[in-house]
């Protein structure tokens, strides 16, 4: 197994899983109702940005760890 294949097989499942979780989260957030459209829009934007940033940083950090550790010890 080449280093490239190894890295991909470590990174892709993590990025895919966290991406699916974020999509599920987005679907659930869109269900929350506020009395006014403006408040709802602001809440959605803030929450999706915060959670999206966390998910992205977390997924990238785990992927980098896989990309470093797996080829070194394989």
| Cβ proximity to other proteins, 3 vs 43, nearer residue | 43
What is d(CA 37, CA 47) in angstroms, rounded to the nearest whole number?
15
Identify the CA nearest to 33 among candidates 25, 43, 22, 23.
43
Q: Applying CB under 8 A, does 7 fall inside the site for other proteins?
A: no
3-state DSSP assignment of residue 30: helix
What is d(CA 56, CA 48) in angstroms, rounded to the nearest whole number?
12
Q: Applying CB under 8 A, does 73 fall inside the site for other proteins?
A: yes
Q: How far is the CB of 2 from other proteins (least distance, A)?
A: 14
Q: What is the DSSP letter of 34?
A: -
Q: How far is the CB of 3 from other proteins (least distance, A)?
A: 13
| Residues of the shown chain interacting with other proteins in the complex, contacts defined by CB under 8 A | 10, 13-14, 17-18, 21-22, 24-25, 28-29, 31-32, 34-39, 42-43, 46-47, 50-51, 53-55, 57-59, 62, 65-66, 69-70, 73-74
């Amino acid at each position: 197994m080449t280093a490239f294949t190894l890295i991909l097989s470590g990174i892709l499942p993590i990025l895919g899983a966290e991406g699916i979780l974020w999509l599920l989260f987005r679907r659930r957030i869109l269900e929350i109702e506020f009395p006014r459209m403006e408040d709802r829009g602001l809440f959605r934007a803030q929450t999706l940005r915060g959670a999206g940033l966390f998910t992205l940083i977390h997924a990238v950090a785990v992927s980098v760890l896989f990309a470093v550790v797996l080829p070194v010890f394989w």
